[in-house]
Amino acid sequence: MVEGECPAKDYQDPPPAPLVDAQELAKWSFYRALIAEFIATLLFLYITVLTVIGYKSQTDPLKNPDDQCGGVGILGIAWAFGGMIFVLVYCTAGISGGHINPAVTFGLFLARKVSLIRAVLYMVAQCLGAICGVGLVKAFQNSYYDRYGGGANELAAGYSKGVGLAAEIIGTFVLVYTVFSATDPKRSARDSHIPVLAPLPIGFAVFMVHLATIPITGTGINPARSFGAAVIYNKEKAWDDQVVDILGWTIHRCRHCSVLPPGERSKPFRLLTPTEFYARHSVCHSSDYITNARALKLFTQSWTPLPLTTIIAIVHGFTGESSWFVQLTAVHLAKSGFATCAIDHQGHGFSDGLVAHIPDINPVVDDCVTFFDSFRAKHPPSLPSFLYAESLDGAISLLIHLWRGPSRPWDRLVLNGAMRGISAKFKPPWPLEHFLSLVAAVVPTWQVVPTRGSLPNLSFKEEWKRRLAIASPRRSMARPRAATALELLRVSREVQGRFEEVDVPLLIVHGGDDLVCDPAGVEELYRRAASKDKTIRVYPGMWHQLVGEPEENVELVFGEIVDWLRTRVELATAAGEGGGLRTRES
């Protein structure tokens, strides 16, 4: 070497990639690289989203109330993401460069490592692979996928959008910086005899970033990962549904005692764990599964106070469940002294079955009777018992009453916004209503039945309560299935034809502006019912879901419900059944 000369480099910098390289389109290796990116991103999303959903299922306090394991935890999720990146980068590095992330591809394009054509088509392949990967998860785990949010990113409570965005920017920078450092030509030349040294730090960087940002955003750092999950989960805006600023939440209170604690407002329990929430209200909670005659596992819950004065069985509405708004109603009733139970119908909540599909109401009624009677048998027979129902399940509670004959333990009814007739403003258009029989016979599960408006939009007057209802991970927002819609119409007609057979103490509360369940139906029920003790309260200006009203309206309605229940308990204790009360207020 001549004195003064620099030593020769032991590596060679690759020339900058051309901005547009049309010759790539004629090479098989280019399309092979696109396929590699597609398959790698598909596998990445498939494995990691399954891991996230599995973790949420393992740690669901309603599904596994006594589980002490805690699932794989954030550490396990981070290892799944980091480990898959390590494996897939190692497998595809020699084919496509192992990008598997539009952010990495874009960074390499800015550094002139890839051409514009390759960058754009790589990102398209990655996004399509992500969509297909999450689509496979939904196909194989449909009920769990919908129940646990589809692995879509969500901003955690207590963080602003700005904080979430900053966390994602920093996390993505760490990843891209690691990619550039691990693939630097000088490092590649020096470490060429150890081929895992590039994938290893990249996978480990993904692992570390997930550990840091899962508690904040669920960790994106990969636009394809966030995009695929959001598209399949039908989220037009990945964050908007999760970071809505819910301004307040006070659910029916017993004499100015709020059910909900302060703090985060996008979940029913806010920042409390279920155990803390129940302890706060002096309520003992239990949950279990029963198996019905059709071999479906149905989720059940109960809430018991000490001491208890009566027993209430709650029947939730169509597309509802026992674990969201209904659970808050149950806790409120339990803290007022009433032992309360509820069951998720088939295809609802945590129960088995096709989502929101009830082609025949009779098995659903049988399931309710079986569970409610088993719960009733655990308590002294002298305690009064009530059925409490909302929306669709007003019809179910009436059928339970009508089918039991003279020996019926559930001999008092509270109907809250319950269905005795579907409002003409919510029914499907006239032609389709008359073709339902044909459609239901050919494709009974087809979600084809249009209604005149969204059910949550017509049910909840308060905007933030509507958003809270929609936020339930187990709530179906799809159109009613053909056979289900036909059955709801049939059940409505059946119960209307049997109003004269209703002869038990009866309380009806209903919104005067209910556009889902026709107020005229409850007026007719009140007039025709044979009950000697019957009360109706139609509240002018209130909507279908009375719990979705402003706070003062909620207090009024549920205060009157609790007063009515306590009065009937006192009557039953002092003088036996019934009582000669007949009142009407509206």
User: Model-level pTM?
Assistant: 0.56
pLDDT of residue 576: 54
**So what's the pLDDT on residue 188?**
56
DSSP type of residue 481: P
Sheet arrangement for strand 506-511: 283-291, 297-305, 338-343, 310-315, 385-390, 413-416, 506-511, 534-539, 582-585
Q: Note whether 390 and 317 are within 8 A (CB).
A: yes
Q: What is the mean pLDDT of the chain?
A: 81
Whether residue 78 contacts residue 48, with contact meaning beta carbons closer than 8 Å, is answered with no
Out of 294-298, 339-343, 420-424, pick the least confident: 420-424
Q: Does the structure show a pLDDT above 70 at 12?
A: no
Q: How much is the pLDDT for 35?
A: 96
Q: Distance between terminal CA atoms of the chain?
A: 103
**Residue 99's pLDDT is what?**
94
Q: How confident is the model at residue 62 (pLDDT cuts 50, 70, 90)?
A: low
Q: Are 579 and 568 in contact (CB under 8 A)?
A: yes
Largest CA distance in the chain: 116
When pLDDT is cut at 50, 70 and 90, the band that residue 141 belongs to is confident
Confidence of residue 212 (pLDDT cuts 50, 70, 90): very high
CA-CA distance, 488 to 492, in Å (whole number)? Answer: 6
580 near 532, Cβ under 8 Å?
Answer: yes
Task: Please report the domains of the chain, with CATH numbers, ordered by start residue.
Answer: 22-257 (1.20.1080.10), 274-424+492-576 (3.40.50.1820)
Cα–Cα dist 85/287, whole Å: 39
Residue pair 390/316 in contact (Cβ under 8 Å)? The answer is yes
**Of 71 and 349, which is predicted with more confidence?**
349
**How many C-beta atoms lie closer than 10 Å to residue 167's C-beta?**
21
Q: pLDDT tens digits for 429-485?
A: 666 666 778 888 888 888 866 555 567 888 888 888 888 888 787 777 677 888 888
Reported as half-sphere exposure (CB side, CA atoms, 13 A), residue 489 has a value of 21
Residue 202 has pLDDT above 90, yes or no: yes
Q: What's residue 69's pLDDT?
A: 57
Does residue 405 register a pLDDT over 70?
A: no
What is the three-class DSSP state of 454? Answer: coil
pLDDT of 230 above 60:
yes
**Element (H or E) spanning 132, and its range?**
helix 116-140
Residue type, 344: D
Give the pLDDT band of residue 183 (cuts 50, 70, 90). Answer: confident
If you average pLDDT over residues 228-245, what whole number do you get? 51
For tokens 């590596």, the residue is 11
